[in-house]
Amino acid sequence: MTPSLHLWLIPILPLIGAAINGFFGRRLSRQTVSAVALTFCGAAFLMGLYVAARFPSLELPHAEYLGHWIRSGNFMVNFEFYLDQLTLVMLLVVTGVGFLIHIYSVGYMWEEGGFYRFFSYLNLFMFFMLTLVLAGNYLQMFIGWEGVGLASYLLIGFWFTKDSAASAGKKAFIVNRIGDFGFLIALFLLIKHFGSLNFSQLFSSIAQQPAETAGVGLLTSIGLLLMVGAAGKSAQIPLYVWLPDAMEGPTPVSALIHAATMVTAGVYMVARSHVIFGHAPNALTVVAIIGTLTALFAATIGIAQTDIKKVLAYSTVSQLGYMFMACGVAAYSAGIFHLMTHAFFKGLLFLAAGSVIHAVGGEQDMRKMGGLRQYIPWTFMTMTAATFAIAGFPPFAGFFSKDEILARAYEANPAYWFIGVTTAFITSFYMFRLWFMTFFGDYRGREAAEHGHAPAHGHGHGGHGDPHESPMIMLVPLMILAVLSVIGGWVGIGGRFEHFLSPVFGEGATAVATEALSRSTEITLMVISVVAAVLGFYLAYVLYLKRPELPQKIADSLGGLYQAVVNKYYVDEIYGDLFVKPLVDGSTRILWHGVDQGVIDAAINDTADGARHVSDSARQMQSGNVRSYAGWVAVGAAVIIAYMIWMGVR
Amino acid sequence: MQNHILSIILFTPLLGAIVLLFVPKESKNAIRWIANIFALGGFLISIPLVPMFWAQRFDISHAFKFIEGAPNTWIPTIGAGYYLGIDGISFLLIMLTTMLGWISILSSWTAIENRVKEYYIWFLVLQTGMLGVFMALDFFLFFVFWEAMLVPMYLLIGIWGGPRKLYAAIKFFLYTLAGSVLMLLGILFLYFNHHSVTGMYTFAIPELYKTAPQIFFNPQYGSTYATLLFFCFFVAFAIKVPMFPFHTWLPDAHVEAPTAGSVILAGVLLKMGTYGFIRFSLPFFPAVVMSAKVRGWMIFLSIVAIIYGALVSLMQKDMKKLVAYSSVSHLGFCTLGIFALNPVGLSGSVLQQINHGISTGALFLIVGVLYERRHTREISEYGGISNVMPIYATITMIMFLSSMGLPLLNGFVGEFTILQGTFMENWKWAAWAVPGVILAAAYLLWLYQRVFFGSVTNPKNEKLHDLTPREIATFVPLIIMALWIGIYPKPFFEILEQPSIQIARTVREGARTSNVLASTPANAPANVPAKPDSAKGMD
C-alpha cells in the first residue's frame, strides 16, 4: 500500500486561487491579485516537484480514489487520480511552464483592465488542465477536457469588447465540441462493451482482446472516435480551424493554452489510450496520416503569414502534427518527448513574440518590425534559442525530439519520413523568415506609427517612440525557457527519456524498434534533417536579409497559388459555405418559418378557424328566445329516445 | 407513516391565497410580503421531507411513501379518493416545485405592478395545483389538480403577459385542453375496464396499475385498443412536454408570459408531461411502449425535438423565444431517456428534468432581469452588457454553461446519463442526439456574445444597474443546486434508483407476460382494502 500523496490537491490549489480572484479580485490590488494567482499556481508546481521527488519510492501506476461521482444502474464513475511516468511528465510540463507563464503574465497584463479576471481564468485553466492530466478515468479526463475548452473560450474572448476576439472564442469552443462528439461516443462504446471507464480496469481487459487487424471493429471504431476528439482539441485536420483564430487572446494565453499545454491534450489522450490503439492498427494508421498531413499542410500556410502570432499558430498546428505522426507509428514516447520540448520552445516563442509585440506597442505585423535585435537584446537572444530549437538545429531541444520522430517514422513508412523532412525544411524556413523579418534589417515601425496605426489593443505604452525591452518579470521566464529550449532535449540522449516512459508504453516496442535501424541509417537520417534545417535557414537568409525584394517577385510569379496560401487555402470560407450557411439558412427558412410557422401553426390555426365557423353556426342556436330553446330541448330529447330504442332493439 | 407532511406542503400555498383574499388590494406591499412569506414557508416546510425521504430511499417494500388518505374515501360512490403518496421521482419534482415557486414569487416583486393581489393569489393556487399533480395517487384527484393548474397559468399569461398575451394564452389553453380531454377519455376507459375486470369502481392509480396493462392481452380489446389508449395519454403529455410537433404553443406562451410565469412554466409545468409518461404511460401500457413501432416513434420524435429545437433556437432574435426553443431541445433529452426504458435512462431523464427546471428557470430569470430594465427582449437591442453589469454577466455565464452541459455542472450529469442509457439500447439513437449538445453550445454562446460581449453600442444600455440583492437571492439557490448536482449527484441517483429500476422492470415484464393479474384474485372484494401498502401491487 503506497501512502497517499494527496494528488487531489494539485488541481484544487489553482482552483482556490481562481475562486479568490474571481470573487474578490475586483476589490483587490493588482499586487494582491498576482500574488494570489502565483502562490496557488506555484504551490501546484511545488506539489508536482514533491511528487517527482517521491516518485522512485512509489509503486506504479499509483492510483488515488476520492469518491463516487456518477452512479446509475451498475455503472459507476469515481473521482480518482492516476499517476505513472506519463502523468509525471505532463504534470511537470503543465505546472512548470504554467508557472513561468503566470509570472510573465503579471508583467504583460499589468496595464490591462480586468487584471483579476485574467488571473482567475488562468488559474481556472490550470485546475482543468491538471484534472485532465491526473484523471484516473476517461470521464474525469473529460471534465478537464471540456473545462480547458471553457477556460480557452474565456481567455480568447478576454478582450470581449473586440468582436473578432469574441467570435474566435466561440468558434474555438464549438469546433472543440464537434470533436467531443467523437470522444463522447467513444466513451459510450467503452462503457457498453467493457463496463468501465477506469484506466487500469479498461486497459487490462482490452489487453486480453486480440488485435483488430482487418476492417473496422469495435476497438478500431473507439480509436477513430477518440481521434476525432483529439483532432478537435489538438487542432488537426479537419478541425484545426479554430487555433489560428484563437490568437485573438492575450499572448500569454496563446503561449500557455494554445501552444504549450491545452492543445497537446489530444496527443496526451492518444498516448494514454495506447492500449486501445495498440489493438487497432488501422486506427493508428489514420492517426499517422492525419498527423503527417496536418504537419505539412499547416507548415505551408505558415510561410505566407505576416502576423507574427499567426505564423506561430500555424507552426503549432504543424508541430502537433508531428506528435500525432509519432503516436501513429506507435512511437508514443517520441511524441511525448516532442510534446515536452515543444512546450519549452513554443511557449518561449509565444512569450518572446509577446515581448516583441509589447516592445513595438501592440503591433503584430512583421512587415512593420525589423531590426529589433538592438532594441530588445534579451528578447532577441531567447527567441533565437527557441527558433533554432524548433528548426531542429543540434544541440537544441527540438533537434532531439524531432529526429527521434523522423527516425521512427522512417521505420514505419518512408513516406511519412519524407513528408516529415520536407515539413522540417519548411518549418526552418518560415521560422527564420520570422526571425529575420523581426530582428534584422531596419526598423520599419516608425513610418507605420506616424501613419497613426493604432495598436490592436490598448497597451498603455502606446505605439510611439523606440521599441523598448520588457521588464525583468517578463524576461526571467524567457531566460528560463531559453535554457530549457537549449538543454531540454538532452534527456533524450541515448534513449533515456524513452526508457523512463517504457513502463507505460512497453519496453518492447521502443527497444526493438531502435535496434531495427542500423547505426548508419540513423546517422544518415540525422544528417538529412540537419541539412533540411540548414537549407531552410539559408533560404530565409537569402530571401529576407540578402535580397528582400525577391519574395514579392516570387509571390507575383506564383499568382493564384500564393493567394491560396495567404488565404489559408480558403478553408474557413469553404466550411462557411458548406456547413455554417446551410445550417443557418436551413434552420431559419425551412425549420422555423417553414415547418414551425408554415405547417404546424398553420394547421393549428386552420383547425381553430374551422372550429370558429362551426361555432358560428352553432351560435345561431342561442337566439335568446326561450321558445326556440324549448324546441331544441325537444329535438334533443327525441334524438336520445330514438337512440335508446334503437339500442334496445338491437 | 400516517403523517400529514404531504398535505401540509400541498395546501400551504393555497392557504396563502386564501389569506390574501382578505387583504385590501391597495396595500400592495403587504400583499407582496404575505405572498413571499407563504411561498418561502412552502419551501421551508418541504425541507423536512428531505431527511424523512432520505431515510427510506432504498425501502423497496413500498413503491409509494408518505401515503396519505386512502383509495375511494373522498367520493366513495364513484371510487375517488383523497389519496396521496410519493416516490423518488415525485419527491424530487416536489422539491423542485417548492423551490422554484418561492424563487418565482420572489422575482415578481417589482415586475408586477398592476392587479398585484390577483397575481399572487393565482400564483399560489397554481403552486398547489402543481404539487397536487405530483402527489396524487388517485386519477380523479390527479385530474382535478391537472385542470386546476391550467386556469391560473392561463390567467397569468392572459392578464400579466406581453402585447400578444391573449393569442398566446388562448393557444396555450386550447392546446392543453385538447390534450386533457383525450386523457380524460383514457382515464374513463381504464376506470370502466377496471370495473369490468375486478367488479369494482376505483380511480386509485396503484389499483389501475394492475388491470391497465392487461388491456393489451385482453382478447376483447387487444393491441389496437391499448395503442389507442396509449395515444390518448400520449397526446396530453406530449403537448405538455412539449414534444415535436406539439410544441408551437410554447414559444408564444413563453414570450408573452411574465418572467415568473415563464420560470414556472418551463421549470415545473413542462415536467407534468414527462412525469405523466413515467407515472402513467409506461406502467399502464408496457406492451405498447415496448413495441418496436411505438417506441421507435417516441425515440424519433425525441431526437427530432433535440435537433430541431436547437436549430430553431439558434436563429431566434428574441431572447425568450430562444430559451423557449432550447427547452424543446432539452426536453427532447428527457423523453429520449424515458423511452430508453432502462433504469439508467429513466433516472437520467428525471435528473435532467430537475436540471432543466434549475437551468432554464434561471435562464428565464436572466432574460427577465434585462426585460425589466429595458422592456425589450430583442437580442439586437443589446451588446456589451458585460461592461455595465458584470455580476449579472458572470451569473449568466454560469447558468449558460450549466444549460449547455459543461462537466461539473448539473446539465452534464443528466445528459450523459441519458445518452448512456440510450446508447445501451441502440447506439444510433444516442449518436443522433449528441449533436444537440454541440448546438446547445452554439446557440447559447452566440447569444452570450451578442448580448454581453462587444462594447455598449446602444446608449440606452449605458445606465443599466447591476443586480440588486433581491435579484441575486433568486439566483443563489439555483447556482448552488447546479453545482451540487454537477459535482455530487450521488444522492439524487440514490433517490431515483428504486423507482427507476422498478418502472423499467414493470415495463419490461409487463410487455412480455400477462400474468400481472394472476397475482391479484379475479373476484376481488367490492371494497378496496384501505391499507396504504396496496401500492405494493405495482410490482
Q: Give per-residue pLDDT as tens, A501-524.
A: 888 887 544 444 555 667 788 888
Residue B149 class from Cβ within 10 Å (0-12 exposed, 13-18 middle, 19+ buried)? buried
- Least confident range from A386-400, A499-513, B241-255: namely A499-513
Say what percent of chain A tops pLDDT 70.
94
Contact of A496 with chain B, judged by CB distance below 8 Å, is answered with: no
Could you tell me if A261 and A268 are in contact, meaning their C-beta atoms sit under 8 angstroms apart?
no
Q: What is the rounded average pLDDT of the residues B239-247?
A: 88
The predicted structure's pLDDT at residue A293: 94
As a whole number, mean pLDDT of residues A524-551 equals: 87
Compute φ and ψ for A82, nearest 5 degrees: -135, 130
Task: State which residue of chain A sits closest to B453, comparing Cα positions.
Answer: A160
Give A-chain residues touching B344 at CB under 8 angstroms: 72-73, 75
Q: Do A147 and B315 touch (CB under 8 A)?
A: no
Residue type, A353: A
Residue-wise pLDDT tens digits, A421-431: 999 999 999 99
Nearest Cβ partner for A188 among B311, B430, B455: B430
Q: What percent of chain A has pLDDT over 90?
A: 37
Closest by CA to A407, choosing from A490, A325, A507, is A325
ipTM over the 0.85 cut-off: no
Residue spans of beta strands (DSSP E) within A435-543: none
Q: What is the identity of the amino acid at B421? A: G
Determine the Cα–Cα distance for residues B300 and B307; give it in Å rounded to an integer: 11
Quick one: closest CA in A to B446, which residue? A170
**Residue A294: what residue type?**
T
Is A75 in the B-facing interface, judged by CB distances under 8 Å?
Answer: yes
- In angstroms, what separates the C-alpha of B107 from chain A's closest C-alpha? 24
* pLDDT level of residue A453 (50, 70, 90 thresholds): very low
* Highest-confidence segment of A95-99, A509-513, A575-579, B169-173: A95-99
The DSSP letter of residue A598 is I
pLDDT band at A132 (very low <50, low <70, confident <90, very high): very high
The SS3 assignment for B204 reads strand
CB distance A160–B171 less than 8 Å? no
Interface of A with B in 475-494 (CB under 8 A): none
Give the pLDDT confidence score for residue A45 in this predicted structure. 94
Mean pLDDT value of segment B66-93: 88
Chain A CB contacts of B446 below 8 Å: 170
Return d(Cα B146, Cα B139) in angstroms, integer: 10
Phi, psi of B331 (to 5 degrees): -70, -25
B490 part of contact set with chain A, CB < 8 Å? yes
pLDDT at A457: 44
Convert the pLDDT of each residue in B498-524 to its tens digit: 899 989 988 888 877 654 444 444 443
Residue type, A564: A
Listed in order, strand segments (DSSP E) in B393-473 are: none
Determine contact, residues B281/B99, Cβ cutoff 8 Å: no
Helices and strands per DSSP (H, E), number in chain A: 29, 2
Residue B419 and residue A591: Cβ atoms within 8 Å?
no
The set of residues, in sequence order, having a beta carbon less than 8 Å from that of A521 and lying 6+ positions away, is A410
Is the peptide bond prior to A551 cis by the omega test (within 30 degrees of 0)? no
pLDDT, one tens digit per residue, over B176-186 is 888 888 999 99
**B427 in contact with A at a CB cutoff of 8 Å?**
yes
Q: What residue has cell string 474555438? A: A172
SS3 track for B347-363: HHHHHHHHHHHHHHHHH
> Cα B384 vs. chain centroid, distance in angstroms?
34
pLDDT in tens, A109-126: 888 888 888 999 999 999
Tell me the per-residue pLDDT of A36-77, one tens digit each, with 9 for 90 and over.
999 999 999 999 999 999 888 888 788 888 888 887 767 788
As given in the structure block, the three cell numbers for residue B34 are 404575505
Q: Which of B249, B263, B483 is nearest to B366 (CA)?
A: B263
Residue whose C-alpha is closest to residue B501's, from B387, B381, B421: B421
Q: What per-residue confidence (pLDDT) applies to A511?
A: 45
Q: What is the mean pLDDT of residues A244-266?
A: 89
Mark which residues 251-270 of B lie under 8 Å from A by CB: none
**The three three-digit cell numbers of residue B265, written as one number:** 412554466
Q: How confident is the model at residue A592 (pLDDT cuts 50, 70, 90)?
A: confident
Question: pLDDT tens-digit profile of B421-468?
Answer: 999 898 889 989 998 988 898 899 889 988 988 888 888 888 888 999
Give the containing element (helix H, strand E) for B239. Answer: helix B222-240
- How confident is the model at residue A12, as a pLDDT? 92
Confidence (pLDDT) at B355: 95
DSSP state of A1: -
The cell numbers describing B270, all together, are 413542462
- The confidence score (pLDDT) of residue A452 equals 43
Q: What is the pLDDT of residue B276?
A: 93
Per-residue pLDDT tens over the stretch B379-432: 988 988 888 998 999 999 999 999 998 999 999 999 999 999 999 898 889 989
pLDDT at B522: 41
C-alpha B130/C-alpha B266 separation (Å) is 13
Question: Quick check: B437 and A184 CB within 8 A?
Answer: yes
B409 neighbors B279 (Cβ within 8 angstroms) = no
Residue A96 predicted with pLDDT over 90: yes
CA distance B165 to chain A (A): 16
DSSP, collapsed to helix, strand or coil, labels residue B506 as helix
CA angle A298/A301/A307 to nearest 5° reads 115
Q: Would the pLDDT of A553 be above 60?
A: yes
Q: Are B38 and B19 in contact (CB under 8 A)?
A: yes
pLDDT in the model for residue A578: 80
Beta-carbon contacts of A57 under 8 Å, excluding residues fewer than 6 positions away, are: none
Q: What pLDDT is stored for residue A103 in this prediction?
A: 93
pLDDT: which is higher, A585 or A415: A415
Return mean pLDDT, chain B. Answer: 87
Q: What is the mean pLDDT of residues B301-329?
A: 91
Question: Which residues are bridge partners to A70 per DSSP?
Answer: A77
CA distance B46 to B69: 19
Above 90 in pLDDT, residue A325?
A: yes
Predicted confidence (pLDDT) at residue A446 exceeds the cutoff of 90: no
Q: Which of B322, B463, B445, B326 is nearest to B385 (CA)?
A: B463
Check CB contact of A76 with chain B, cutoff 8 Å: no
Whole-number Å distance between alpha carbons of A169 and B382: 19
Quick one: which of A104, A136, A117 has its CA closest to A11?
A: A136
Residue A463, pLDDT score: 46
DSSP B293-325: HHHHHHHHHHHHHHHHHHHHHHT-SBHHHHHHH
Partner residue facing A185 (CB), from B311, B431, B446: B431
A189 and B CB contact within 8 Å: yes
Answer yes or no: do A604 and B248 touch at CB < 8 A.
yes
